[in-house]
Amino acid sequence: MDTPAAENLAAIRERIARAHERFGAPPEAVSLVAVSKTFEAEAIVPFLEAGQRVFGENRVQEAQAKWPGLRERFPDVELHLIGPLQTNKAREAVALFDVIETVDREKLAGILAAEMLQAGRKLPCFVQVNIGLEEQKAGIAPAETVAFVVRCRDVHGLDVVGLMCIPPDGVPPGPYFAQLAELGRQAGVARLSMGMSGDFEVGIAMGASDVRVGSALFGHRPPPK
C-alpha cells in the first residue's frame, strides 16, 4: 500500500500535470520543490522513498542538521534555499545547497559569487523579487529587478536562471505572478519560481517553472517556536 507521503506526492504531481496541460503555458515542464522546512528527517524520508528529489529549506542551520545525513542515503537530491540568506551564512549555504532562490541584494550577490568561486561550485540562482513591495518581505523592488539581474551576471558572474516571488497574502496572486513573468521576459531569464500550496496552479497558469509546495505535501506546520 502507498504511504500517505506517496499518496500526497502523487496527488500534487497530478494537479501540477493537469494545470500544466490545461493552461499550456511554457515552460516544457514544471519542477516540484517539496518544501520540508520544520519537518524532521524521519518525516522527509517517505517522500524520498516515493521518488521526490527536489526539496526546499528556508534556514541554513536547520538544513545543515537534516540534509547531510539524508544525502548519504539519497545522493541525487537537489536542495533549494528558499529563505533569506545572511551574508555570514553564505559559505555554508554554498556548501550545502544546489540552488539559491533568494538572491535579494547587491552585497549578498557579491559575497555569494566570491564563495562560489572559492568552493568551485557555480550554483544556479534566482533573484527574489518583492513583487508586492511589502515592507516585511525580502526581495528586490520590481522596478529595479532587470538592472539587478544584469549586475548579478555581468558584475558578479552569478548564474541567474530565474526570478522568485512570494505574493501578498489575502489578495488574488495572478496579477503578481503575471508581473513576475513579464519581469522575467525583460531580464531574459528562463525560470520562474512562483506558487505555493494555496496557489501553485495559478503560478503554473502564469508560466511557473518551479512551484514550492510545503503543507499540501507534508501537512500542517507547527508555528515557529
Ligand X SMILES: *Cc1c(COP(=O)(O)O)cnc(C)c1O
- Site residues (vs ligand X, CB under 6 A): 35, 37, 58, 82-83, 166, 196-198, 212-216
Min CB(5)–ligand X separation in Å: 15
Query: Phi and psi at residue 116, in whole multiples of 5°?
Result: -65, -40
Residue closer to ligand X, measured from CB, 152 or 166: 166
Min CB(12)–ligand X separation in Å: 10
Min CB(221)–ligand X separation in Å: 6
Contacts of 30 (CB under 8 A, 6+ apart): 16, 19, 20, 204, 208, 209, 210, 211
Residue closer to ligand X, measured from CB, 72 or 135: 135
CA–CA dist 77, 200 (Å, integer): 22
Residue closer to ligand X, measured from CB, 101 or 115: 101
Residue nearest to ligand X (CB): 214
The C-alpha torsion from 110 through 117 and 77 to 88, rounded to 10°, is -40
At 186, list the grid cell: 525583460
Residue closer to ligand X, measured from CB, 18 or 73: 18
Min CB(27)–ligand X separation in Å: 19
Closest CA to 81 of 52, 102, 67, 61: 102
